[in-house]
Chain A
Amino acid sequence: EPEVTQTPSHQVTQMGQEVILRCVPISNHLYFYWYRQILGQKVEFLVSFYNNEISEKSEIFDDQFSVERPDGSNFTLKIRSTKLEDSAMYFCASSDLGQANNEQFFGPGTRLTVL
């Protein structure tokens, strides 16, 4: 069964450093998303991406964040200068525009720890 994959599973970085989180969505999907979950809190939407541009973003997704689909398979989230409060689990998701019910398939997540 096709699945969304994410790398790395755990990333530790120093405050102020840049990090890139990588995702491989399901191959025939056209919509891509990033969500985050701070420890003990709910899953929050960050950004959605379609046709090589951002469709929607939350207020969390400020100028420190960017997304890119550098090739036909990867979807990345970059945080330019990490802060302590960026420590969270980051989930990538994808959906097939052909489905009318917006089912999003989630990856296993990348745990980001900012020291």
Chain B
Amino acid sequence: AQSVTQPDIHITVSEGASLELRCNYSYGATPYLFWYVQSPGQGLQLLLKYFSGDTLVQGIKGFEAEFKRSQSSFNLRKPSVHWSDAAEYFCAVGTGTASKLTFGTGTRLQVTL
């Protein structure tokens, strides 16, 4: 069965600083990988996804993520964080078309001014 690990429960960064959120997955084949963001009281918004091709994927709001098969990782990055990026970030793995998503425990991002 697939699983996702997000080792950082809570991260605090200063506005304008760079950000990297870690995600490791466990799955025997090539996974479909996703990053979702959840603002307080809101639903889940897709930031970006990877399923094949270029291992560096670009998403919305200036986010990018890199798939590294050798490390079973799909870390999320942003060069310069904005205060509005404060939210909870979830990494998720899917195993095929229309399959269920398995989520990590999430990383709460706090941005200081």
A residues neighboring B (CB under 8 Å): 4, 31, 33, 35, 41-45, 48, 50, 55-56, 58, 91, 95, 97, 99-109
A102 touches B94 (CB 8 A): yes
Q: How many Å lie between the Cα of A106 and that of B47 in the bound state? A: 12
Q: Is B42 an interface residue (CB 8 A)?
A: yes
Q: With a 10 A CB-CB cut-off, give which of A33, A41, A58, A101 has the most chain B CB atoms.
A: A101
Chain A positions within 8 Å of B44 at CB level: 43, 91, 106
Q: How many Å lie between the Cα of A109 and that of B38 in the bound state? A: 11
Selected A-B contacts with CB under 8 Å, 11 pairs: A31-B98, A35-B101, A41-B105, A42-B106, A44-B103, A50-B98, A55-B98, A102-B94, A102-B97, A106-B45, A108-B43
* Residues of chain B in range 5-62 having any CB-CB distance to chain A below 8 Å: 32, 34, 36, 42-46, 49, 51
Which of A48, A97, A99, A109 is within 8 Å of B100, CB to CB? A48
Chain B positions within 8 Å of A95 at CB level: 98
Count of residues in B whose CB is under 8 Å from the partner chain: 24
Q: How many Å lie between the Cα of A45 and that of B96 in the bound state? A: 15
Knowing A43-B44, A43-B103, A44-B103, say if A101 contacts B49 (CB, 8 Å). yes
Q: A42-B104, A43-B90, A104-B101 are in contact. List 20 more A-B contacts (CB 8 A).
A: A4-B43, A33-B101, A35-B101, A42-B90, A42-B103, A42-B105, A45-B101, A45-B102, A48-B98, A55-B98, A97-B97, A97-B98, A99-B97, A102-B98, A102-B99, A102-B101, A106-B44, A106-B45, A108-B42, A109-B43
